[in-house]
Amino acid sequence: MTFGFVGKIARIDLTNGKVKKEPIDDKTAKRFVGCVGYAAKILWDELEPGMDPLGPENKLIMATGPLTGTLVPNSGSYEACFKSPLTGVWAETRSGGRWGSYLKYAGYDMLILEGKSEKPVYLTVLDGEVEIKPADKIWGKTVPETEAIIKEEIKTPEASIASIGVAGENKVKIACIMNDLERAAGRCGGGAVMGSKNVKAIAAYGHGDIAVAKPDEFMKVLKATEENIMKHPGRAGMLLGTIGAFTTVSQMGDLPTKYGWSGRWDKAEEYYDRFLKTNYIKNRACWTCMLACGRYSESKGKWPTIAYGGPEYETAGVMSAFCLIDDNDALIRANYLCNIHGLDTISAGHMAAFAMQCYEKGLITKEDTDGVELTWGNAEALMTMLEKIAKRQGFGDVLAEGIRGAAQKIGKNSIELALEVKGLDMPMHDPRAGKSLAVQYGTANRGMCHIHPQEVHDCEHLGADWDLRPYGLPEVKDRFGENKDKALIAKLVQDFGVGPDILGTCKFPQGTGFRLDFTAALLSATTGWQVSGKELLKLGERVINLQRCFNIREGLRRKDDMIPSALRQPHATGTTKGVAVTNYEVMLDDYYDLRGWDKQTGIPTRQTLERLALSDVADDLAKYVKIP
Amino acid sequence: MLHCTFAHEKVNNPLKARIHVVRYEPYVDSAVVCWQCGICINSCPIGVIKRNRATGAVVIDEKKCNGCGQCQLVCPIGAITMDPTRLVALKCDLCKGDPACVKGCPYNALGFEKPENGAYYRRLESALVLGRKELG
Per residue in A455-496, pLDDT (tens digit) is 898 888 888 889 999 999 999 888 999 989 999 999 999 999
Residues of B in contact with A281 (CB under 8 A): 27
- What band does A598 get if pLDDT is binned at 50, 70 and 90? very high
What CATH number does the domain located at A8-205 have?
3.60.9.10
Per residue in B7-55, pLDDT (tens digit) is 998 999 988 999 999 888 888 888 999 989 999 999 999 999 999 988 8
- What pLDDT is stored for residue B136 in this prediction? 58
B31's enclosing H/E stretch is: strand B28-33
Strands (E), A264-391: 280-284, 294-297, 308-309
Indicate yes or no: CB of A71 within 8 angstroms of CB of B3: yes
Mean pLDDT of all residues in A563-577: 92
Å from A307 to nearest chain B CA?
A: 6
pTM equals 0.94
CB A187 within 8 A of CB A111: no
A217's enclosing H/E stretch is: helix A215-231
Rounded Cα–Cα distance for residues A275 and A304 (Å): 14
Instruction: Calculate helix-pair angle for A379-391, A345-360, nearest 10 degrees.
Output: 120
Rounded Cα–Cα distance for residues A374 and A384 (Å): 10
Rounded Cα–Cα distance for residues A566 and A574 (Å): 17
Mean pLDDT of all residues in A618-623: 95
Rounded Cα–Cα distance for residues A460 and A474 (Å): 10
Rounded Cα–Cα distance for residues A66 and A30 (Å): 11
**Predicted confidence (pLDDT) at residue B130 exceeds the cutoff of 70:** yes
Per residue in B67-96, pLDDT (tens digit) is 999 999 999 999 999 998 889 999 999 999
Rounded Cα–Cα distance for residues A201 and A147 (Å): 8
Q: What are the boundaries of each domain within chain A?
A: 8-205, 235-416, 431-512+532-621
- Same fold flag, A8-205 and A431-512+532-621: no
Could you tell me which residues of chain A have a Cβ less than 8 Å from any Cβ in chain B? 69-71, 73, 101, 105, 127, 181, 206-212, 215, 219, 226-227, 229-230, 281-282, 284-285, 288, 290, 296, 306-308
**Predicted confidence (pLDDT) at residue A387 exceeds the cutoff of 90:** yes
Could you tell me which residues of chain B have a Cβ less than 8 Å from any Cβ in chain A? 2-3, 6, 9-16, 25-27, 29, 84-85, 104, 106-107
Indicate yes or no: CB of B16 within 8 angstroms of CB of A207: yes
**CB atoms < 10 A from the CB of A336, how many?**
25
Per residue in A47-56, pLDDT (tens digit) is 999 999 999 9
Rounded Cα–Cα distance for residues A198 and A193 (Å): 9
Query: 3-state DSSP call for residue A526?
Result: helix
- What band does A611 get if pLDDT is binned at 50, 70 and 90? very high
Nearest to B27 among A210, A282, A290 (CB): A282
Per residue in A129-179, pLDDT (tens digit) is 999 999 999 999 999 999 999 999 999 999 999 999 999 999 999 999 999
Pairing of strands A177-179, A78-83: unpaired
Percent of chain A with pLDDT over 90: 89
CB A76 within 8 A of CB A68: yes
What kind of architecture, by CATH, is found in domain A235-416? Orthogonal Bundle (1.10)
Percent of chain A with pLDDT over 70: 100
Rounded Cα–Cα distance for residues A288 and A140 (Å): 33
Measure CA B11 to chain center. 19
- What pLDDT is stored for residue A363 in this prediction? 95
Residues of A in contact with B3 (CB under 8 A): 71
- Average pLDDT score, chain A: 94
**Predicted confidence (pLDDT) at residue A233 exceeds the cutoff of 70:** yes
Alpha carbon distances (Å) from A46 to A61, A131, A625: 12, 24, 18
Rounded Cα–Cα distance for residues B8 and B99 (Å): 11
CB A375 within 8 A of CB A356: yes
Rounded Cα–Cα distance for residues B49 and A397 (Å): 64
- What band does A571 get if pLDDT is binned at 50, 70 and 90? very high
- What pLDDT is stored for residue A241 in this prediction? 86
Angle (nearest 5°) at CA A483 between A478 and A488: 100
Single out the residue of A505, A515, A586, A436 nearest to residue A79, CA to CA: A505
CATH topology of domain A431-512+532-621: 1.10.599
Alpha carbon distances (Å) from A64 to A77, A81, A119, A429, B31: 7, 11, 28, 28, 26
DSSP states along A259-277: TTTBS--TTHHHHHHHHHH
